[in-house]
Amino acid sequence: MNARPQATAGVALTLPVAVFFVVFWLVPFLAAVYLSFTDYEMAGTPTWIGLANYERMFADPGFLNSAWITVVYTVCTVVPTIVLALLVAVPLSRPGRLNRWLRALVMIPAVMPLAATSMVWVIIYSDGGLANTLLGLAGIAPQSWLTSSDLAIWALVVMVVWKSLGLFAIILTAGLQALPGEVYEAAALDGSGPVTTFTRITLPLLRRTLLFVLVISVAGSMQAFVPAFLLTGGGPADATQVLPYYIWANAFPYEHMGYAAAMGMVLLAAMVIVSALQFGFLKGDDE
């Protein structure tokens, strides 16, 4: 019964969303695929050039540099963030009044907008900023963090690790608090030490949450545009030109729309492959 009114209501309630996803997601995606096979400089019309954009990429030092920097940036932000977040979340997830306060405080960096965070870290990395002040206390000469091509990428990495740490600590803490307490009581009765408990019980039980954190942090790092844009503008000498920044620069300031679309496709393919690998590795024996 009621099939007709349900169908009418269902279509009416979903129609705006359906139209929206077709116009602003599906059509743009198909258009991006098409543009990636064209030469399109915004002012003119797209001309079909087949695979030329893709061939060009692998001979373009700018692209190869950006791809490599994105790999370094992703690995060096994701791994320390997750390790540090676990080191904070495991003790933080235990009950107690102090921990309740600390959990609330951890949220402060987590909700800092990235734009505001970047401005603050520009100050921290400035000549007389906190980074150099702390180096000075240790008797080390001040560094030009954001204008040295050796240091700039690491300056970016440190900021991003700091920014994501609070967020992931909260997610992991919530995951840990949802774990069944009886397992820990049983482990304690059996005389399991803290390290054994962590590696044999906590980590396996937390696998789902860890996979979630890993997937979103890898995806976030691979498409990160804002830190490079605000802290270094991709410089000095392209040292922090991550792939999303290079795509944006090609598409908008330089108006190489076709070439930028092709690089976007390569980034998308890389993200899909990396996500699939993570699911494959960590989910494998779940069912």
Could you give phi then psi for residue 278, rounded to 5 degrees? Answer: -65, -45
Q: Does 83 bind other proteins (CB under 8 A)?
A: no
* Least distance from other proteins to the Cβ atom of residue 237, Å: 21
Q: Does 161 bind other proteins (CB under 8 A)?
A: no
Query: Nearest approach, Cβ of 214 to other proteins (angstroms)?
Result: 10
Beta-carbon contacts of 217 under 8 Å, excluding residues fewer than 6 positions away, are 77, 78, 81, 82, 164, 168
Query: Binding residue for other proteins (CB under 8 A) from 57, 67, 82, 92?
Result: 92
Q: What is the rounded distance in angstroms from the CA atom of residue 129 to the CA atom of residue 227?
A: 18
Give the 3-state secondary structure of residue 259: helix
State which H helix or E strand residue 48 sits in.
strand 47-48
User: Is residue 135 a contact point for other proteins (CB under 8 A)?
Assistant: no
| Burial bucket for residue 278 (CB in 10 Å: 0-12, 13-18, 19+) | middle
Q: Does 272 bind other proteins (CB under 8 A)?
A: yes
Name which of residues 39 to 78 contact other proteins (CB under 8 A): none
Q: Is residue 212 close enough to count as binding other proteins by CB under 8 A? A: yes
- Does position 8 bind other proteins by CB under 8 A? yes
Q: Coil, helix or strand for 113?
A: coil
Q: Is 113 in the site for other proteins (CB under 8 A)?
A: yes
Sequence-separated (6 or more) residues with CB below 8 Å from residue 162: 109, 117
**Where does this chain touch other proteins (CB under 8 A) — which range of 63-71, 74-82, 180-188, 204-212?**
204-212
| Residue in the structure block whose two tokens are 């560094």 | 143
Is 237 one of the binding residues for other proteins (CB under 8 A)? Answer: no
Q: How far is the CB of 287 from other proteins (least distance, A)?
A: 11
Q: Tell me how many residues contact other proteins (CB under 8 A).
A: 100
